[in-house]
Chain A
């Protein structure tokens, strides 16, 4: 059965800290891995990764994929209170996205 596992489940940090969120997967017919950020409402897209070793960056966020070891990490540097959210990892197989349960990040001033 296809599955996506995220860790940690929850993380509490202070502003300015750097965090690393993990995502491992077991999926047949892997096509790509996506990261989403979910605040109070719908998940919003952050990154899509298809190739190993190529880092995607957007401001203080970055992500990389390792297709050999079947995992991805999402890094957030110099965290801010606005980064508080649930971060979801999802893997696309042939035709559907399979989500992990998410990592809840809380950033305190």
Chain B
């Protein structure tokens, strides 16, 4: 099992550019979560999907952020246009809601720097 796979690992871009982060959850996991981590605010839940359907996007900071999950093995988080305050590490995590454990498995993260 390759775990949760995220790309890119690092992204440096200029303000105003579009950023797309990608995630492949663990096969068989039917819930997927996008978190953002900063020193000031810690890990914040942005949005999560259950069976490819967005359940709660109340953590998405503003309309510049959008997320999709077109199928069970792929999700994207898009920021358009990006701003310096979006600089953070973005984690994708997945788990299986068929069990009772709800132990999230995290990807290695995508470190975004917006200049």
Residues of A within 8 A of B (CB): 31-32, 34, 41-45, 48, 88, 90, 92, 95-102
Contacts and interface: CB of A to CB of B under 8 A. Distances in A.
Interface of B is mostly: strand
Given A95-B55, A96-B56, A31 B43 contact: no
A106 to B, nearest CB: 15
Interface of B: 4, 33, 35, 41-45, 48, 50, 55-56, 91, 101-109
Contacts of B102: 31-32, 34, 48, 92, 97
Nearest to A92: B102
27 contacts: A34-B102, A34-B103, A41-B108, A41-B109, A42-B91, A42-B107, A42-B108, A43-B91, A43-B106, A44-B106, A45-B104, A88-B43, A90-B43, A92-B102, A95-B48, A95-B50, A95-B55, A95-B56, A96-B48, A96-B56, A97-B45, A97-B102, A98-B45, A99-B35, A99-B42, A101-B41, A102-B43
